[in-house]
Amino acid sequence: MKRIIFIFAALICIAGCSLKEDAASSITNPYDFYNTPAQVRAALNACYNPLTSIYGYNYLICLEGQTDLASCNGSAQKDAKLDIQPSTTGNSCGPSVWQNGYVGIRYCLSTRAGIDRSTKMTAEQKAPLRAETTILLCTYYYILTSHFGNVPFYEDYIETDDDLDRIAHIGRCNADGIRSTLIEELREACPVLEQVRTSDIPGNYAGAAMGWMVMARMAAWNKDWDAVIEAGEHLESIYGDLNQYSYADVQYRNKNTPESIFEIQHTYTPGGLTKTTSCACCCMPYPRTAGTDIYDGVQIGELGSQATTYASLRPTNYMKNTIQREGSTDIRRDYNMCYQYNGVRFNGNRTWMGPKFWCPGQYTTYDSGNFKMFRYAGAVLLLAEAHAEKGNFDAAVRYLNMVRSRANLADYNGERSVLKLREAVRSECARELFGEFVRKYDLVRWGIWYSAVIQNNTYNILLDNIKPCHEYYPIPLDQVMASGYTLDNAEYEKYGLGGN
């Protein structure tokens, strides 16, 4: 038997795990494991873990605080300040997204190889497990290409020293090409699975709905509008009328709700199981008066007196005065933003992130809410966008109004043109998906991130630091060096930010 090598060594650095220790894991050994569906499920569960590591406080600050809708004024966190260059380490989401993204890919490829090589499971047992693994694999590449642009792409199981050396020296591969390849894989994987909502799957695992949504998101990046519509229509057949889902369910405290396509799972039990993040710490009114439940001068009993608060994400003037003005009939405003509580205004009439993001009764930094990675409303807006870009204006308005209707807004009655509907869809995305780990990615794929941030973000340090190259994060310098400089950060070099 060939010696198995289980680590993408030149691209991933896993603290505390040597190559020998990692190779000893039976769960990732495709020869000795994967004899039963239960064993595959154990391996598949491990494939989800890096997603939880990616979706944390730093990632939220990056995807929402570096945008036109929110900023994190006063924060020393590097993503909040856009103090980002290839040598940046710690207190930043870049190295974590890179490391955990490729760890997830390695886990998925190992699991898929094990399923394929298993001689003790039937084809019927293998097919849905393999499809789920493929969907997770595509999800990690979706995140990596959205975050870094062109990245190394491989789908080989690393089995020999030669395999390792070859993969370790892969350079940046075209992101559009990566996505196109994976869209085809999702077209094959999704129909294998039962076409049901994620909340109807025991354990809320990634099913067909997750696959169709990842396909739609990838296709939107590639401006492959036909593929967006194809995937979106599959989701529409699964989820149906958006109005049947309560908007109140989008709050992170409400877990595994029917509208959700995929949620990042968290839990906290005092003295028991703990799997939490600290995102809510930067989404509450700030500061909290010590020993009390008074936040920025206002008593908020539901938040309790033990929560740790950080320098907060705050809606920009553009968000609170243009996108969702006070007094609007839009029911989402009071979930997205908080300017008073029980009729009492905050000090200085400040506006904070709303209860959508709060963790009631939070103990210190233990935020146990589930993040809505993908919701059906996001798929509906992708359908509106795709039809608008193709000139199918009646269909675009129909999908746009599905979202507006649930939010208690009047139907769109503006000009039916690509430019006007494009603007309307983008504004609706801001209102519907605010704070849901997607705004920066949308601004980048629309080609307007830099100008939108310059015009609307309010953190002066970020505005001093921002460069056009910051639309994508740099590959960490240690990974560039480990690749023998096959990888590079040429765009950062242009701005004197220590490319290599």
Q: What is the DSSP letter of 289?
A: P
Q: For residue 482, which of 225, 99, 90, 147 has the smallest C-alpha distance? A: 99
State the residue for tokens 């519907």.
432
Asked whether the beta carbons of 239 and 260 are under 8 A apart, the reply is: no
Q: For residue 293, which of 344, 231, 233, 217 has the smallest C-alpha distance? A: 344
> What pLDDT was estimated at residue 162?
85
Amino acid residing at 306? Q
Least confident among 31-35, 218-222, 350-354, 390-394: 31-35
> What pLDDT was estimated at residue 158?
83
> What pLDDT was estimated at residue 344?
97
42-72 burial string, b = 16+ CB within 10 Å, else e?
ebbebbbebbbbbbbbbbbbbbbbbbbbbbb
Output the average pLDDT for the chain.
Answer: 92
User: What token pair was written down for 495?
Assistant: 């701005």
> What pLDDT was estimated at residue 20?
27
> What pLDDT was estimated at residue 94?
96
State the residue for tokens 């146990």.
368
> What pLDDT was estimated at residue 33?
80
Check pLDDT > 80 for residue 30.
no
Report, as an integer, the average pLDDT of 225-247: 98
Check pLDDT > 50 for residue 63.
yes
**Percent above pLDDT 70 for the chain:** 93
Dihedral, 8, 9, 13, 16 alpha carbons, nearest 10? 100
> What pLDDT was estimated at residue 291?
96
Other CB atoms within a 10 A radius of the CB of residue 291 amount to 8
> What pLDDT was estimated at residue 27?
43
> What CA–CA distance (Å, rounded) separates 180 from 385?
19
> What CA–CA distance (Å, rounded) separates 221 from 138?
14
Dihedral, 140, 151, 278, 210 alpha carbons, nearest 10? -20
> What pLDDT was estimated at residue 17?
34
Rg of the chain in Å (alpha carbons)? 22
Read off the pLDDT band of 268 (50, 70, 90): confident
Report, as an integer, the average pLDDT of 195-207: 97
> What pLDDT was estimated at residue 142?
98
CA distances from 129 to 3, 29, 39, 175, 270 (A): 26, 16, 11, 26, 34
> What pLDDT was estimated at residue 25?
38
> What pLDDT was estimated at residue 31?
66
pTM: 0.94
> What pLDDT was estimated at residue 18?
24
Please, which residues bridge with residue 264 across strands? 371
State the residue for tokens 């780990």.
437
pLDDT tens digits for range 411-453: 999 999 999 999 999 999 999 999 999 999 999 999 999 999 9
Asked whether the beta carbons of 112 and 130 are under 8 A apart, the reply is: yes
Read off the pLDDT band of 499 (50, 70, 90): low
Check pLDDT > 70 for residue 300.
yes
> What CA–CA distance (Å, rounded) separates 492 from 15?
27
Q: For residue 111, which of 56, 25, 66, 44 has the smallest C-alpha distance? A: 44
- Helix and strand numbers (H, E) in the chain are 20, 12
> What pLDDT was estimated at residue 403?
98
Residues in the chain: 500
> What CA–CA distance (Å, rounded) separates 13 from 131?
28
Check pLDDT > 80 for residue 334.
yes
Check pLDDT > 50 for residue 12.
no
